[in-house]
Structure 1
Amino acid sequence: MNVQHQTPQSELKSEELAKIASKLHNDIRTYTSLKNTLKAPLVAAILLGIHSKELSLSDLKGFSTMKNNDGAVIYRAVSSYLEQRQRLEPDFDDSKIRPILSEFKFLEINKALYLPTDKLDNHSPLYEFTSVLFDVYNTVKISDDTDILGDFYSEFVKYNDSDGNVLGIVLTPKHITSLMADLIEVGKENYLLDPTTGSGSFLVAGMNRMIKQIPQGSNYASEFNEVVSSHLYGVENEPSIYAVAASNMILRGDGKSNIT
């Protein structure tokens, strides 16, 4: 009897994301002089800009002035979105958003990112990267188990010259984080702490399991907000990775105010 192996859909998504991440990594290396430690923050910033709904590809028109280049456009979209959240949510204070924005400041000043090039049909590298990530964002549902930023970051640190080697980072594979969440039977009434947060993969795995336990109904939104705002805690000392982790949690519905 032949049993045909069928790859789970979530695994297929990860494989597809890994291929996109690998190509994006090569493109970043080819078209920019970006430091290794800024590659994951670059993806985080663009995804947050897309998530903000304040950024479109038509906004990216190549270099015009220092205050209106493609990097500045993306940075303003992220900054406006985070500051709007700050006004609406008292616990989303300045001490949380300023470190994120500080790590994204390079977008405005790195000319290799925002200057158009004939190698890209006179588009900037940022335009090309954002176009790719728009497709990813619109294809992969944020509410699914897929961890977009985690998948990209994991792919980036596979390379010998990556930030993972420089900083001594070892990322835990997604299937292990999911397994650990299952083994400890984390529930929506529990509180989850990751003292070495990294890109937030353990928090994402725990959040996914918690949210699946919330029954559909009139109280779903309230219970969801309770989980993501009060039950997830992380600590990350490396500023660039903190920005990635905080962005990851914001993309997934929050949890950001409890990462330090």
Structure 2
Amino acid sequence: MAKKEAKTDLWVHGLLQEAGIELDPQGSTILEINNALKTASKNGTGRVGFPEYVGVVKDFLLVIENKADLSKHVKLNMDGAISLEVKDVKDFAINGALFYGQHLAKNTSYKKIIAFGISGDEKKHRISPIYIDETNYYRELTELESFITFNKDNIEEYYTREVLNEATDSEKELAEILKDASDLHEDLRNYGNLKDIDKPLVVSGILLALRESEHRNFSIDDLAGDQEITTDGEKIYKAIESNLRRSNVSPDVKRDKILSQFAIIKDTQILNEVNIGLNKTPLKHFTQFLQEKIYKSIKYTNSSEDFLGRFYGEFMSYSGGDGQTLGIVLTPKHITDLFCELVDINQDDIVLDPCAGTAGFLIAAMHHMLIQAETEAKKKSIKQKQLLGFELQPYMFTIATTNMILRGDGKSNLVNHNFLNESASKLQLSGATVGMMNPPYSQGSKKNPDLYEISFTEHLLNSLLPGARAVVIIPQSSMTGKTKEELAVKNNILKNHTLEGVITLNKDTFYGVGTMPCIALFTAGEAHPTEKKCKFVDFREDGFKVSPHIGLIETEQAKDKKQHLLDVWFDRLDAETKFCVETTVESGDEWLHSFYYFNDEIPDESEFQKSINDYLTFEFSMLMQNKQDLFNESGSKS
């Protein structure tokens, strides 16, 4: 038993190290805590007693008590509360953790204590946090998979969300962004009479013009509604042109193509006439709004958030569409970040996104790569040489280019071409070591098999350097290969590339679109070994939920669940088959967790007892309803 306990201790210590948390085992280097533990015996004798780990993160005191046996996780009393009887405190993880937490709350100056009862091992376990305050009041919190939410970077956010049940600063910021998007959408419609396709172009064009105000080539005060000499639209258009040149967008044909998309700003009369209600032109009103509400956020942000992409998505939702009619399904920020982590992106990678949309993947990649860059020369190289993209739709190409410029990508290596028409061998010369893609959905058919999502995936793989990592988000149906054309593509992929695994996602990942997505990961240019075991993960429970009037939002469990996913993906820990199955594959298989999963758990006595109880309850219910013949052997014969 001692050996099992030691193994659990080591596993817990590894979790703490991974989260960047330093706790002391069997005592404390903090004098106040160590003195309190001198009277913390579980026997209640007033003698010394030590939890497995104890320590402080910011102003939170963390205490951990663990047991190797899952059946020793918690013991409740007759009232359904955690028992504090001496025997239960000694024998059960949560009971012991609560005992130590309350003792430290009473005998130290710490007012915020989080105690953890942990049982099991690396593969099968339970981690249960309990919040305890200085009055010894306690509240059980949601079970977790790691300690990532309790390190110095995350613990205050966890406390705000889980203990205080209040909105965090990031959530408040998101609510403000969505409200601003709604307000701007209404103004664009009411004062500009603009079509859905034109709204994001006006927004992104004005944002480019505002960049010129830093160089004193543009001023909102100059927008005076003059119809005879230079209109507001012409002034903004001129500032856009100057900023494109300043950003070194080249060649000229590319710059001219982008600029032509912004002609609506100077050519639409209603935008350039003084509105009586506003007492200024709609363009000036939009510019003032964007300067205050949006431009400052984009300019000063260090996050990988795709601000223009979020606004674009909000415009579509407010106009009653989901964006698909305009050929775009925007990828949420938490997915673009997850892509970078799954491929373990580094500062030397060259990233290709052949279906760039609003450039969300490239922005996320740039953000993750710049964090690793140690010199200004390397940062310049990342921005100017290591981010490549294609976008077919001219308006989306313009928005994507604008988005990259606003993030400091001076050269913006985006091309307004159809990726499928590009030669794979020619694209290989770009030297891309990472491919990321969210292809157009539901465009393929037997007449147009090249438009199947799996066909886009194959072309991306063929376009990368051998050994490159590729990650795509596509509908789950792409992994089943329903048509013979799709099956043929899957077969070709295995002949020339390696499938690393597939992660089934939350059905609401693309909230409002109705797509059941998954993430597929590959190694390009290396034939799939028949004996290779791929990972198939069920990540539907990702810690995100749908909030009314907002959409998909992050809960406090999201960080923990993502950390668990990454730990399993990179073989840092084992997982139960209900979360991850490792198996060999064939092209005719459905490359999804649900296809390979089998329940390999042996039911324990409590589960057997529950099944018996459920049956007896059912039988009693039927007897009370005069349906006893259901249990009469002779009556059951026809």
Equivalent of residue 69 in structure 1, options 224, 228, 231: 231
Residues 45 and 192 of structure 1: CA distance in aligned 2, closer, same or farther (over 3 Å): same
Q: Is the 8 A contact 1:36 1:162 kept in 2?
A: no
How far apart, CA to CA, are the structure 1 residues paired with 2:384 and 2:357? 19
**Higher strand residue share:** 2
Q: Secondary structure of the residue that 1:233 maps to in structure 2?
A: strand
How far apart, CA to CA, are the structure 1 residues paired with 2:414 and 2:276? 41
Q: Is the 8 A contact 1:191 1:232 kept in 2?
A: yes
How far apart, CA to CA, are the structure 2 residues paired with 1:235 and 1:226? 19
Q: Is the 8 A contact 1:192 1:231 kept in 2?
A: yes
Q: Is the 8 A contact 2:237 2:262 kept in 1?
A: yes
**What is the Cα deviation at residue 147 of structure 1?**
2.9
Equivalent of residue 4 in structure 1, options 160, 176, 183: 160
Q: Is the 8 A contact 1:157 1:165 kept in 2?
A: no
Residues 75 and 55 of structure 1: CA distance in aligned 2, closer, same or farther (over 3 Å): same
How far apart, CA to CA, are the structure 2 residues paired with 1:47 and 1:78? 9
Q: Which residue of 2 aligns with 1:113?
A: 271
Q: CA RMSD in A?
A: 2.0
**What is the Cα deviation at residue 162 of structure 1?**
5.0
How far apart, CA to CA, are the structure 2 residues paired with 1:22 and 1:7? 20
Q: Deviations over 1:102-149 (max 9, x none)?
A: 1001111101111111111x1111111100111132345444114321
**What is the Cα deviation at residue 25 of structure 1?**
0.6
- In the alignment of these two chains, the number of paired residues is 250
Residues 256 and 200 of structure 1: CA distance in aligned 2, closer, same or farther (over 3 Å): farther
* Structure with greater Cα Rg: 2
Aligned ranges 1:7-156 → 2 under 5 Å: 9-53=169-213, 54-65=217-228, 68-86=230-248, 92-120=250-278, 122-135=279-292, 136-145=294-303, 146-156=305-315
Q: Secondary structure of the residue that 2:352 maps to in structure 1?
A: strand
Residues 26 and 198 of structure 1: CA distance in aligned 2, closer, same or farther (over 3 Å): same
Q: Deviations over 1:162-195 (max 9, x none)?
A: 5824323211111111111111111111011111
How far apart, CA to CA, are the structure 1 residues paired with 2:299 and 2:406? 11
How far apart, CA to CA, are the structure 1 residues paired with 2:396 and 2:322? 10
How far apart, CA to CA, are the structure 2 residues paired with 1:232 and 1:10? 28
State the TM-score, normalized to the length of structure 2: 0.37
How far apart, CA to CA, are the structure 1 residues paired with 2:168 and 2:371? 18
Q: Is the 8 A contact 2:405 2:412 kept in 1?
A: no
How far apart, CA to CA, are the structure 2 residues paired with 1:208 and 1:195? 19
Equivalent of residue 211 in structure 1, options 365, 370, 376: 370
Q: Which residue of 2 aligns with 1:252?
A: 407
Amino acid paired to 1:77? A
Residues 128 and 61 of structure 1: CA distance in aligned 2, closer, same or farther (over 3 Å): same
**Higher helix residue share:** 1
Q: Deviations over 1:45-98 (max 9, x none)?
A: 000001122222111111322x61111110001112223444xxxx73212211
Residues 105 and 141 of structure 1: CA distance in aligned 2, closer, same or farther (over 3 Å): closer
How far apart, CA to CA, are the structure 1 residues paired with 2:269 and 2:290? 20
Amino acid paired to 1:127? K
Q: Secondary structure of the residue that 2:318 maps to in structure 1?
A: coil
Amino acid paired to 1:126? L
Residues 212 and 82 of structure 1: CA distance in aligned 2, closer, same or farther (over 3 Å): same
Aligned ranges 1:178-257 → 2 under 5 Å: 178-215=337-374, 220-254=375-409, 256-257=411-412
Q: Which residue of 1 aligns with 2:11?
A: none
Amino acid paired to 1:231? Q
Give 5+ residue unaligned stretches, structure 2.
Answer: 1-130, 132-138, 140-158, 416-638
How far apart, CA to CA, are the structure 1 residues paired with 2:256 and 2:320? 29
How far apart, CA to CA, are the structure 2 residues paired with 1:51 and 1:36? 24
Amino acid paired to 2:284? Y
Amino acid paired to 2:221? S
Residues 147 and 33 of structure 1: CA distance in aligned 2, closer, same or farther (over 3 Å): same
**What is the Cα deviation at residue 4 of structure 1?**
3.4
**What is the Cα deviation at residue 15 of structure 1?**
3.2
Amino acid paired to 2:202? L
How far apart, CA to CA, are the structure 2 residues paired with 1:203 and 1:12? 26
How far apart, CA to CA, are the structure 2 residues paired with 1:142 and 1:231? 22
Q: Secondary structure of the residue that 2:391 maps to in structure 1?
A: coil
Give 5+ residue unaligned stretches, structure 1.
Answer: none
Amino acid paired to 2:370? I
State the TM-score, normalized to the length of structure 1: 0.88
